[in-house]
Structure 1
């Protein structure tokens, strides 16, 4: 049964629309991939439907064999305003779209970065990043009372914005991926790239120092955190986290290679490096073949300073060990 060409969703009684939508969503879009699509003359060439389009748009693109036209399942079920999606919505609902010369209309129909759902996901991710909050929840199932910060905050946004509510939680197709973990990671990665670009732009070729530390994450993979310290155009001393990178091991050679690769990636020169700060580990600041020494071989002005935070930590640990009551608690 094809969805389009039947009774418009707005003609159903309001009390029945949710049930009708659930039936159609359960069926999913009609995509007869093995159908012998007819060729028609458009312009100077014979053209027809390409089954690959169903792979490119698996959640909404639907084909009518009777009309040799494609439709949008989502717009049929949820369309309230024909001006949405750049005014191209009616073609994918009422008459069907069959101009195979202009398949770029598919992408325009989805909506770009400014569509309500895309903006909701991006703003939601930005809020969590700015607050330093985790995205994922322990239980993100539909029955969960707490699906994690990302999904719970998105639900809150649907309560105060009808445009978001219309395309988000509870009304979007079940296989829509805009709230899934991989899309969340893509949004976070995009935010990280933009943030890093802003830091490099603020640095603007000035001299800088690096602060480096290495540790294992929860999966026992070695990772290296790199912070750059510089003076901005207003004369303020600024420290910014530049990268957290997985490294094969924590030998001085491996760490130096990763630091060089990071600097090259952001078009920074080691010749502009005028300071380096690490903890007191032998691979970081030992006398020979340590990270400090390897960098000084290339730039004698990259002066080393033992990280004050690590010095304070060592002092606190030393004092705590001398106090029996504290020592019994922590050691």
Structure 2
């Protein structure tokens, strides 16, 4: 019912719109063309409305349908057109693929049987494209296992990384991995034609140009582009730097030996903990360090990982913080070791650690790996995109360039190394302009500054950049 202020009367909008469908009805003419303002007689209004099957209620139901936009013809037509466009695009792309294939093979465009009953008819389906992430490793039972992860974009436009499962493989050759992937796809009704990306590590069985897994898949689907993990590429670059520099190779080998020797038993870890406790107490009593919540926490030497080069930064930090305590533990092992091998290893480690070059490399690699570690963490962020990744790479390169070309950076490294050596009674070069080591026959002598700045610092930074 609608009330008209101008005529001071009520009208029935539903009956006005759909009266031709039902003709006259109880009081219909009064509520449609005339006007009803007999306010004392309310029973006539209820009589006009009637029960649920009355003419008025039928008109009201039609009016509700009219106001529902989802039932409008143009809306339904638009939905049909969108689906038709989508189906047409799918069939068009399939036709283009077939034409390209026939052109490359030099085959005829028309077949001998184009009937509806022909088995050569191809049903095109709108399949979800996805990327494949694969890695393999051994479990505790020494069995090779392959992990499969899918990467795709859902209907809402969100990037989804979904762990699919673990597959046992007899070996980690490219052919064995490809066979396992094919069997997995067949089992779950998947197709390599929907594959749009491959993500593996840098192992030869994965990224080999001729017989690697990515090559075997590309032979079947040229759109399955291979992307090497940016973070893993960074780790490989650092490993390559170490392999080319003898001093760095010995340095990281020493770190690995330290973590294995000092943390070889509970007794040695307890000894390291006790030494560090006494050292911290002495620093606090002398006023060299502050106390407070979260400060001076108990720690140990972190073991570096072979597959994660970024873990070495944690080992370097722990060795710097526990340097005095580690030296104390090695001296105890040198004297009270279980056998001559432990004593000899402790003596060798002490000879390397109590050398200014080792301390200098500690702070140099702390600075270098600190920069690359921040870059590695940024590259592994889930919300990272290619543009931001390239910007982070450029920022890291500028920081490494600054470290190489500003003399103040080298002076800061020297001061940090000097301070640690003085605290642990390690001999330091008195003059950087003096000759370094012994002069070899036929080779011009070099200064201490040239050795530490050029042969160590510059060489490392040049190889990384």
Place the TM-score, normalised by the shorter chain, in its bin: 0.3 to 0.5
Is the strand fraction higher in 1 or 2? 1
With structure 1 as the length reference, what TM-score do the two structures score? Answer: 0.36
Q: Considering only CA atoms, is the larger Rg found in Structure 1 or Structure 2?
A: 2
Structure of higher RCO (CA pairs closer than 8 Å, 6+ residues apart): 1
